[in-house]
Protein backbone atom coordinates (compact mmCIF):
# COMPACT_ATOMS: atom_id res chain seq x y z
CA UNK A 1 0.00 0.00 0.00
CA UNK A 2 1.43 3.38 -1.01
CA UNK A 3 2.29 6.06 1.53
CA UNK A 4 0.02 8.50 -0.32
CA UNK A 5 -3.01 6.25 0.13
CA UNK A 6 -2.19 5.72 3.80
CA UNK A 7 -1.79 9.47 4.31
CA UNK A 8 -5.11 10.06 2.56
CA UNK A 9 -6.82 7.55 4.84
CA UNK A 10 -5.37 9.27 7.91
CA UNK A 11 -6.51 12.67 6.64
CA UNK A 12 -10.01 11.35 5.94
CA UNK A 13 -10.11 9.80 9.40
CA UNK A 14 -9.19 13.14 10.98
CA UNK A 15 -11.89 14.97 9.02
CA UNK A 16 -14.46 12.32 9.94
CA UNK A 17 -13.50 12.61 13.63
CA UNK A 18 -13.79 16.40 13.47
CA UNK A 19 -17.23 16.07 11.88
CA UNK A 20 -18.34 13.67 14.61
CA UNK A 21 -17.09 16.12 17.25
CA UNK A 22 -18.98 19.00 15.61
CA UNK A 23 -22.19 16.93 15.47
CA UNK A 24 -21.84 15.95 19.13
CA UNK A 25 -21.59 19.63 20.15
CA UNK A 26 -25.12 20.34 18.86
CA UNK A 27 -27.57 20.31 21.80
CA UNK A 28 -30.25 17.62 22.02
CA UNK A 29 -33.05 20.18 22.19
CA UNK A 30 -36.45 20.29 20.55
CA UNK A 31 -36.97 23.26 18.23
CA UNK A 32 -40.11 24.77 16.78
CA UNK A 33 -39.40 27.35 14.09
CA UNK A 34 -42.01 29.77 12.74
CA UNK A 35 -42.26 33.07 10.90
CA UNK A 36 -42.99 35.91 13.33
CA UNK A 37 -45.09 37.86 10.72
CA UNK A 38 -47.20 40.41 12.56
CA UNK A 39 -46.52 39.02 16.02
CA UNK A 40 -43.35 40.98 16.62
CA UNK A 41 -43.57 43.93 14.26
CA UNK A 42 -43.32 47.56 15.15
CA UNK A 43 -46.84 48.13 13.80
CA UNK A 44 -48.23 46.52 16.94
CA UNK A 45 -46.24 48.92 19.10
CA UNK A 46 -47.37 51.87 16.99
CA UNK A 47 -50.98 50.75 17.34
CA UNK A 48 -50.52 50.55 21.09
CA UNK A 49 -49.05 54.04 21.15
CA UNK A 50 -51.97 55.42 19.15
CA UNK A 51 -54.43 53.84 21.55
CA UNK A 52 -52.51 55.35 24.45
CA UNK A 53 -52.56 58.82 22.88
CA UNK A 54 -56.29 58.53 22.41
CA UNK A 55 -56.67 57.50 26.03
CA UNK A 56 -54.72 60.54 27.20
CA UNK A 57 -57.29 62.80 25.55
CA UNK A 58 -60.06 61.35 27.70
CA UNK A 59 -60.85 62.61 31.18
CA UNK A 60 -59.35 59.52 32.85
CA UNK A 61 -56.21 58.31 31.14
CA UNK A 62 -56.14 54.60 30.34
CA UNK A 63 -53.33 52.23 31.11
CA UNK A 64 -51.06 51.47 28.15
CA UNK A 65 -52.33 48.28 26.49
CA UNK A 66 -49.89 45.41 25.97
CA UNK A 67 -48.16 45.06 22.64
CA UNK A 68 -48.50 42.05 20.37
CA UNK A 69 -45.11 40.77 21.53
CA UNK A 70 -46.14 40.96 25.17
CA UNK A 71 -49.35 39.08 24.41
CA UNK A 72 -47.44 36.38 22.56
CA UNK A 73 -44.94 36.01 25.40
CA UNK A 74 -47.79 35.64 27.88
CA UNK A 75 -49.27 32.86 25.74
CA UNK A 76 -45.88 31.19 25.50
CA UNK A 77 -45.49 31.45 29.28
CA UNK A 78 -48.73 29.50 29.69
CA UNK A 79 -47.46 26.84 27.29
CA UNK A 80 -44.20 26.75 29.24
CA UNK A 81 -46.07 26.08 32.48
CA UNK A 82 -48.09 23.29 30.89
CA UNK A 83 -44.92 21.60 29.62
CA UNK A 84 -42.77 22.09 32.73
CA UNK A 85 -42.82 18.36 33.58
CA UNK A 86 -41.78 17.04 30.15
CA UNK A 87 -39.84 20.13 28.98
CA UNK A 88 -38.46 21.84 32.10
CA UNK A 89 -36.55 24.54 30.20
CA UNK A 90 -37.86 26.57 27.27
CA UNK A 91 -36.61 29.63 25.41
CA UNK A 92 -37.60 31.83 22.49
CA UNK A 93 -34.98 33.16 20.07
CA UNK A 94 -35.79 35.73 17.39
CA UNK A 95 -33.20 36.07 14.62
CA UNK A 96 -32.65 39.43 12.94
CA UNK A 97 -30.67 38.66 9.78
CA UNK A 98 -28.59 41.35 8.11
CA UNK A 99 -28.88 43.59 11.16
CA UNK A 100 -26.95 46.86 11.02
CA UNK A 101 -25.04 47.63 14.22
CA UNK A 102 -23.70 51.18 14.48
CA UNK A 103 -21.47 53.03 16.92
CA UNK A 104 -21.39 56.72 17.74
CA UNK A 105 -17.89 56.92 16.24
CA UNK A 106 -19.39 56.27 12.81
CA UNK A 107 -18.34 52.62 12.46
CA UNK A 108 -20.99 50.05 11.55
CA UNK A 109 -21.30 46.47 10.41
CA UNK A 110 -23.87 43.93 9.32
CA UNK A 111 -24.46 40.75 11.24
CA UNK A 112 -27.02 38.81 13.21
CA UNK A 113 -28.89 39.99 16.29
CA UNK A 114 -30.62 37.35 18.42
CA UNK A 115 -33.40 38.43 20.75
CA UNK A 116 -33.59 36.02 23.68
CA UNK A 117 -36.38 35.24 26.13
CA UNK A 118 -36.77 32.31 28.49
CA UNK A 119 -34.65 29.84 30.42
CA UNK A 120 -30.87 29.84 30.19
CA UNK A 121 -30.68 26.02 30.03
CA UNK A 122 -32.49 26.00 26.68
CA UNK A 123 -30.11 28.54 25.10
CA UNK A 124 -26.70 28.31 23.52
CA UNK A 125 -23.91 29.24 25.92
CA UNK A 126 -20.46 30.26 24.71
CA UNK A 127 -17.11 30.80 26.39
CA UNK A 128 -16.96 34.20 28.09
CA UNK A 129 -13.92 36.35 27.26
CA UNK A 130 -14.78 39.58 29.07
CA UNK A 131 -17.57 41.00 31.21
CA UNK A 132 -20.53 38.73 31.95
CA UNK A 133 -23.36 36.79 30.36
CA UNK A 134 -26.94 38.03 30.29
CA UNK A 135 -28.53 37.53 33.70
CA UNK A 136 -31.56 35.20 33.83
CA UNK A 137 -33.81 38.04 34.99
CA UNK A 138 -32.60 40.23 32.12
CA UNK A 139 -33.87 37.66 29.64
CA UNK A 140 -37.41 38.40 30.83
CA UNK A 141 -36.95 42.18 31.00
CA UNK A 142 -36.61 45.02 28.50
CA UNK A 143 -33.23 46.20 29.76
CA UNK A 144 -31.13 47.24 26.72
CA UNK A 145 -27.97 45.19 27.36
CA UNK A 146 -26.07 42.99 24.94
CA UNK A 147 -23.46 40.26 24.74
CA UNK A 148 -21.42 40.32 21.54
CA UNK A 149 -18.80 38.04 20.05
CA UNK A 150 -15.13 38.88 19.76
CA UNK A 151 -15.26 39.62 16.02
CA UNK A 152 -18.09 42.11 16.51
CA UNK A 153 -16.17 43.80 19.33
CA UNK A 154 -13.04 44.26 17.23
CA UNK A 155 -14.76 45.37 14.01
CA UNK A 156 -17.30 47.70 15.64
CA UNK A 157 -15.37 49.14 18.59
CA UNK A 158 -11.74 48.35 17.62
CA UNK A 159 -11.50 46.90 21.11
CA UNK A 160 -11.46 43.32 22.30
CA UNK A 161 -13.35 44.11 25.51
CA UNK A 162 -15.69 47.10 24.95
CA UNK A 163 -17.55 46.65 28.25
CA UNK A 164 -20.08 49.42 29.06
CA UNK A 165 -19.77 50.87 25.55
CA UNK A 166 -22.93 51.22 23.44
CA UNK A 167 -24.13 50.46 19.93
CA UNK A 168 -27.43 51.06 18.17
CA UNK A 169 -29.70 48.63 16.40
CA UNK A 170 -33.21 49.22 15.04
CA UNK A 171 -33.49 52.52 16.88
CA UNK A 172 -32.52 51.05 20.26
CA UNK A 173 -29.22 51.71 22.03
CA UNK A 174 -27.67 48.70 23.77
CA UNK A 175 -24.90 48.63 26.35
CA UNK A 176 -22.31 45.87 25.98
CA UNK A 177 -21.99 43.82 29.15
CA UNK A 178 -20.03 40.84 27.84
CA UNK A 179 -17.85 39.47 25.04
CA UNK A 180 -17.92 35.79 24.10
CA UNK A 181 -15.86 33.50 21.91
CA UNK A 182 -17.99 32.28 19.03
CA UNK A 183 -16.73 30.28 16.08
CA UNK A 184 -18.84 30.56 12.98
CA UNK A 185 -20.33 27.25 11.90
CA UNK A 186 -21.58 25.94 8.56
CA UNK A 187 -25.14 26.65 9.74
CA UNK A 188 -24.60 30.39 10.16
CA UNK A 189 -24.69 33.04 7.46
CA UNK A 190 -23.23 35.98 9.39
CA UNK A 191 -19.83 36.16 11.04
CA UNK A 192 -20.81 38.82 13.59
CA UNK A 193 -23.55 38.44 16.18
CA UNK A 194 -25.06 40.15 19.20
CA UNK A 195 -27.45 38.67 21.75
CA UNK A 196 -29.94 40.93 23.52
CA UNK A 197 -33.12 40.51 25.60
CA UNK A 198 -36.06 40.08 23.23
CA UNK A 199 -38.29 42.44 25.21
CA UNK A 200 -35.78 45.24 24.62
CA UNK A 201 -36.64 45.02 20.90
CA UNK A 202 -40.37 45.49 21.42
CA UNK A 203 -41.36 48.34 19.13
CA UNK A 204 -38.05 48.30 17.22
CA UNK A 205 -38.13 49.45 13.60
CA UNK A 206 -36.94 46.09 12.24
CA UNK A 207 -38.80 42.79 12.18
CA UNK A 208 -37.21 39.41 13.00
CA UNK A 209 -36.57 36.99 10.18
CA UNK A 210 -37.26 33.82 12.13
CA UNK A 211 -38.47 32.83 15.60
CA UNK A 212 -37.44 29.56 17.23
CA UNK A 213 -38.82 28.05 20.44
CA UNK A 214 -36.30 25.61 21.90
CA UNK A 215 -36.88 23.20 24.73
CA UNK A 216 -34.59 21.01 26.80
CA UNK A 217 -36.60 17.82 27.24
CA UNK A 218 -36.57 15.72 30.36
CA UNK A 219 -35.36 12.13 30.24
CA UNK A 220 -38.03 9.71 29.05
CA UNK A 221 -41.70 10.56 28.66
CA UNK A 222 -43.53 11.86 25.62
CA UNK A 223 -41.82 15.24 25.55
CA UNK A 224 -41.44 15.35 21.77
CA UNK A 225 -45.07 14.88 20.75
CA UNK A 226 -46.40 17.06 23.58
CA UNK A 227 -43.96 19.87 22.84
CA UNK A 228 -44.76 20.03 19.13
CA UNK A 229 -48.53 19.69 19.59
CA UNK A 230 -48.67 22.52 22.14
CA UNK A 231 -46.53 24.84 20.05
CA UNK A 232 -48.50 24.06 16.90
CA UNK A 233 -51.53 25.36 18.76
CA UNK A 234 -49.52 28.38 19.92
CA UNK A 235 -48.37 29.24 16.38
CA UNK A 236 -49.56 27.30 13.36
CA UNK A 237 -47.48 26.65 10.26
CA UNK A 238 -44.18 26.08 12.04
CA UNK A 239 -41.49 23.44 11.52
CA UNK A 240 -40.89 20.66 14.06
CA UNK A 241 -37.18 19.94 14.54
CA UNK A 242 -35.92 17.25 16.91
CA UNK A 243 -32.18 17.89 17.18
CA UNK A 244 -31.61 14.53 18.87
CA UNK A 245 -33.10 12.78 15.85
CA UNK A 246 -31.19 15.02 13.43
CA UNK A 247 -27.97 14.25 15.28
CA UNK A 248 -28.65 10.52 14.91
CA UNK A 249 -29.34 11.07 11.21
CA UNK A 250 -26.03 12.90 10.77
CA UNK A 251 -24.21 10.04 12.52
CA UNK A 252 -25.64 7.41 10.13
CA UNK A 253 -22.69 7.37 7.64
CA UNK A 254 -20.19 7.16 10.49
CA UNK A 255 -22.26 4.50 12.24
CA UNK A 256 -22.36 2.35 9.10
CA UNK A 257 -18.62 2.78 8.46
CA UNK A 258 -17.62 1.91 12.03
CA UNK A 259 -19.98 -1.10 12.16
CA UNK A 260 -18.59 -2.50 8.89
CA UNK A 261 -15.02 -2.07 10.16
CA UNK A 262 -15.95 -3.84 13.41
CA UNK A 263 -17.54 -6.68 11.45
CA UNK A 264 -14.31 -7.01 9.46
CA UNK A 265 -12.31 -7.16 12.70
CA UNK A 266 -14.71 -9.77 14.07
CA UNK A 267 -14.17 -11.80 10.90
CA UNK A 268 -10.42 -11.80 11.51
CA UNK A 269 -10.97 -12.73 15.17
CA UNK A 270 -13.28 -15.58 14.09
CA UNK A 271 -10.49 -17.01 11.95
CA UNK A 272 -8.20 -16.80 14.99
CA UNK A 273 -10.77 -18.52 17.20
CA UNK A 274 -11.14 -21.33 14.64
CA UNK A 275 -7.36 -21.72 14.68
CA UNK A 276 -7.32 -21.85 18.50
CA UNK A 277 -10.18 -24.38 18.61
CA UNK A 278 -8.42 -26.58 16.05
CA UNK A 279 -5.24 -26.37 18.12
CA UNK A 280 -7.15 -27.40 21.28
CA UNK A 281 -8.70 -30.39 19.47
CA UNK A 282 -5.32 -31.55 18.21
CA UNK A 283 -3.74 -31.29 21.65
CA UNK A 284 -6.65 -33.17 23.19
CA UNK A 285 -6.38 -36.00 20.67
CA UNK A 286 -2.63 -36.23 21.23
CA UNK A 287 -3.09 -36.24 25.00
CA UNK A 288 -5.70 -39.02 24.89
CA UNK A 289 -3.39 -41.14 22.76
CA UNK A 290 -0.61 -40.90 25.35
CA UNK A 291 -2.53 -40.73 28.66
CA UNK A 292 -5.72 -42.02 30.22
CA UNK A 293 -8.86 -39.91 30.12
CA UNK A 294 -8.81 -39.21 33.86
CA UNK A 295 -5.23 -37.99 33.62
CA UNK A 296 -6.16 -35.67 30.74
CA UNK A 297 -9.53 -34.60 32.17
CA UNK A 298 -8.43 -31.32 33.79
CA UNK A 299 -6.67 -30.22 30.57
CA UNK A 300 -9.78 -31.03 28.53
CA UNK A 301 -11.95 -29.10 31.00
CA UNK A 302 -9.73 -26.02 30.88
CA UNK A 303 -9.63 -26.08 27.08
CA UNK A 304 -13.41 -26.49 26.91
CA UNK A 305 -14.00 -23.58 29.26
CA UNK A 306 -11.54 -21.40 27.32
CA UNK A 307 -13.24 -22.32 24.04
CA UNK A 308 -16.69 -21.52 25.42
CA UNK A 309 -15.42 -18.21 26.82
CA UNK A 310 -13.90 -17.21 23.47
CA UNK A 311 -17.06 -18.13 21.59
CA UNK A 312 -19.27 -16.36 24.14
CA UNK A 313 -17.24 -13.14 23.97
CA UNK A 314 -17.18 -13.24 20.17
CA UNK A 315 -20.93 -13.81 19.80
CA UNK A 316 -21.65 -11.10 22.38
CA UNK A 317 -19.45 -8.65 20.45
CA UNK A 318 -21.23 -9.64 17.22
CA UNK A 319 -24.59 -9.03 18.91
CA UNK A 320 -23.52 -5.53 20.01
CA UNK A 321 -22.27 -4.59 16.54
CA UNK A 322 -25.41 -5.90 14.80
CA UNK A 323 -27.54 -4.08 17.37
CA UNK A 324 -25.83 -0.79 16.51
CA UNK A 325 -26.12 -1.58 12.82
CA UNK A 326 -29.89 -2.02 12.93
CA UNK A 327 -30.48 0.71 15.53
CA UNK A 328 -31.54 3.25 12.83
CA UNK A 329 -34.65 1.11 12.31
CA UNK A 330 -35.65 2.00 15.87
CA UNK A 331 -34.52 5.61 15.57
CA UNK A 332 -36.46 6.21 12.35
CA UNK A 333 -39.53 3.94 12.50
CA UNK A 334 -41.36 6.11 9.97
CA UNK A 335 -39.17 4.60 7.24
CA UNK A 336 -40.25 1.05 8.11
CA UNK A 337 -43.28 0.02 6.00
CA UNK A 338 -46.23 -1.61 7.73
CA UNK A 339 -45.68 -4.71 5.55
CA UNK A 340 -41.92 -4.93 4.81
CA UNK A 341 -42.34 -7.47 1.96
CA UNK A 342 -45.11 -5.58 0.16
CA UNK A 343 -43.78 -3.31 -2.63
CA UNK A 344 -46.81 -1.03 -2.39
CA UNK A 345 -46.25 -0.46 1.32
CA UNK A 346 -42.53 0.15 0.77
CA UNK A 347 -43.34 2.77 -1.86
CA UNK A 348 -45.98 4.37 0.36
CA UNK A 349 -43.49 4.68 3.25
CA UNK A 350 -40.84 6.14 0.95
CA UNK A 351 -43.08 8.80 -0.61
CA UNK A 352 -44.63 9.68 2.74
CA UNK A 353 -41.21 10.55 4.13
CA UNK A 354 -39.99 12.22 0.95
CA UNK A 355 -43.04 14.50 0.82
CA UNK A 356 -42.11 15.86 4.24
CA UNK A 357 -38.63 16.80 2.97
CA UNK A 358 -39.53 18.24 -0.44
CA UNK A 359 -41.60 21.25 0.58
CA UNK A 360 -40.98 24.22 -1.70
CA UNK A 361 -40.76 26.50 1.32
CA UNK A 362 -39.11 25.18 4.49
CA UNK A 363 -38.09 26.73 7.79
CA UNK A 364 -34.62 25.88 9.03
CA UNK A 365 -32.64 26.80 12.13
CA UNK A 366 -28.85 27.25 12.46
CA UNK A 367 -28.57 23.90 14.26
CA UNK A 368 -30.59 22.02 11.63
CA UNK A 369 -28.54 23.62 8.84
CA UNK A 370 -25.32 22.61 10.58
CA UNK A 371 -26.46 19.00 10.98
CA UNK A 372 -27.65 18.85 7.38
CA UNK A 373 -24.23 20.08 6.24
CA UNK A 374 -22.36 17.48 8.27
CA UNK A 375 -24.68 14.72 7.06
CA UNK A 376 -23.69 15.45 3.46
CA UNK A 377 -20.00 15.88 4.27
CA UNK A 378 -19.73 12.78 6.46
CA UNK A 379 -21.54 10.68 3.85
CA UNK A 380 -18.98 11.75 1.22
CA UNK A 381 -16.00 11.31 3.57
CA UNK A 382 -17.11 7.88 4.80
CA UNK A 383 -17.75 6.69 1.23
CA UNK A 384 -14.30 7.83 0.15
CA UNK A 385 -12.75 6.23 3.24
CA UNK A 386 -14.45 2.90 2.47
CA UNK A 387 -13.44 2.86 -1.19
CA UNK A 388 -9.82 3.77 -0.46
CA UNK A 389 -9.47 1.35 2.46
CA UNK A 390 -11.02 -1.62 0.61
CA UNK A 391 -7.73 -2.77 -1.03
CA UNK A 392 -5.95 -2.40 2.32
CA UNK A 393 -8.56 -4.51 4.12
CA UNK A 394 -8.33 -7.18 1.43
CA UNK A 395 -4.56 -7.38 1.86
CA UNK A 396 -4.89 -7.56 5.64
CA UNK A 397 -7.40 -10.42 5.35
CA UNK A 398 -5.18 -12.37 2.94
CA UNK A 399 -2.08 -11.83 5.08
CA UNK A 400 -3.94 -12.85 8.24
CA UNK A 401 -5.25 -16.03 6.61
CA UNK A 402 -1.80 -16.94 5.28
CA UNK A 403 -0.19 -16.35 8.68
CA UNK A 404 -2.67 -18.65 10.42
CA UNK A 405 -2.12 -21.38 7.82
CA UNK A 406 1.63 -21.26 8.33
CA UNK A 407 1.39 -21.64 12.11
- Per-residue pLDDT of 316-363, as tens digits, reads 999 999 999 998 888 887 777 877 777 888 888 777 777 767 777 889
**Rounded to an integer, what distance in angstroms lies between the CA atom of residue 382 and that of residue 374?**
11
Fill in the DSSP letter of residue 41: -
pLDDT at 40: 54
| Dihedral pair phi/psi, residue 168, rounded to 5° | -115, 140
Residue 54 — very low, low, confident or very high, per pLDDT cuts 50/70/90?
Answer: very low
Res 333: pLDDT: 79
Has residue 56 got a pLDDT over 50? Answer: no
In a domain? residue 118: yes
**C-beta atoms surrounding 222 within 10 Å:** 10
As a whole number of angstroms, the distance between CA 108 and CA 201 comes to: 19
My answer on whether 172 and 50 are in the same domain is: yes
**pLDDT-derived band at 46, boundaries 50, 70, 90:** very low
Q: How far is CA 341 from CA 8, 322, 326, 344, 353, in A?
A: 41, 21, 17, 9, 18
Chain Cα centroid distance, residue 83: 22
- Beta strands at 145-149 and 172-181: parallel, antiparallel or unpaired: parallel
pLDDT of residue 1: 55
Could you say which of 167, 202, 237 is where a domain stops? Answer: 237
Judged by average pLDDT, the poorest of 32-36, 37-41, 49-53, 59-63 is 49-53
Give the burial string for 25-64 (b: 16+ CB within 10 Å, else e).
ebbebbbbbbbbeebbbbebbeebeeeeeeeeeeeeeeee
Cα(39)–Cα(69) distance, integer angstroms:
6
Nearest Cα residue to 68 out of 173, 207, 193, 172: 207
| Rounded mean pLDDT, 240-267 | 94
Residues 112 and 167: their CA atoms lie apart, in Å, by 14
- Distances 391 to 128, 185, 271, 385 between C-alpha atoms, Å: 48, 35, 19, 11
Q: Are residues 225 and 297 in the same domain?
A: no
- Are both 65 and 199 inside the same structural domain? yes
pLDDT value at 45 more than 60: no
Across 66-70, 222-226, 236-240, 341-345, which has the greatest mean pLDDT?
236-240
pLDDT over 90, % of the chain? 55
Query: CA 150 to CA 184: how far, in whole Å?
Result: 11
Q: What is the mean pLDDT of residues 306-324?
A: 95
- Same domain for 259 and 208: no
Q: Do 264 and 204 share a structural domain?
A: no
Residue 317 counted as domain residue:
yes
pLDDT band at 86 (very low <50, low <70, confident <90, very high): confident
Do 335 and 388 have their domain in common? Answer: yes
Question: Phi then psi for 113, rounded to 5 degrees?
Answer: -110, 130
Give the separation between CA 176 and CA 156, rounded to whole angstroms: 12
Cα 273 from Cα 404, distance rounded (Å): 11
Helix 366-405 / helix 243-250 crossing angle, nearest 10 deg: 40
Q: What is the mean pLDDT of residues 53-70?
A: 63
pLDDT, position 137:
93
**Domain co-membership, 346 together with 322:** yes
Nearest to 268 by CA among 359, 403, 137, 387: 403
Q: Report the number of distinct structural domains present in the chain.
A: 2
Domain residues for 183?
36-237
Does residue 340 form part of some domain?
Answer: yes
Same domain, 228 and 327: no
Q: What is the pLDDT of residue 93?
A: 94
- Rounded mean pLDDT, 185-196: 91
| Residues 118-140, mean pLDDT to the nearest whole number | 91
Q: Which pLDDT does position 61 carry in this prediction?
A: 54
For the cut 70, the answer to whether the pLDDT of residue 100 exceeds it is yes
Mean pLDDT of the residues in the chain: 86
Q: Tell whether the model's pLDDT for residue 55 goes beyond 70.
A: no
pLDDT digits (tens, 9 = 90+) for 239-249: 999 999 999 99
Q: Which alpha helices (H) appear in 132-251, and where do they start and end?
A: 150-157, 223-234, 243-250
Longest dimension (CA), the chain: 120
Amino acid sequence: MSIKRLGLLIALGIFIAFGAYSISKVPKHLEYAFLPSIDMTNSAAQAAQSETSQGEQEEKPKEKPPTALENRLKELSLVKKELKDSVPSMALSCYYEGATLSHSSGSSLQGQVIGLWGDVDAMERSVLLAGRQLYPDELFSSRPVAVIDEKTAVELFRDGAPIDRAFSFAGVEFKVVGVIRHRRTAGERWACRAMVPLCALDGANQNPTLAVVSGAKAAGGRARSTFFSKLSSFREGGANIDLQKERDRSFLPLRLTVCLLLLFILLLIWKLIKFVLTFFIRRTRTGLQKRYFLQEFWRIALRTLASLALLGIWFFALYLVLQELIKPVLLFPEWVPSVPVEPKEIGAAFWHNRSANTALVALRTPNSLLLSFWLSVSAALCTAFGLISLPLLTRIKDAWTAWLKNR
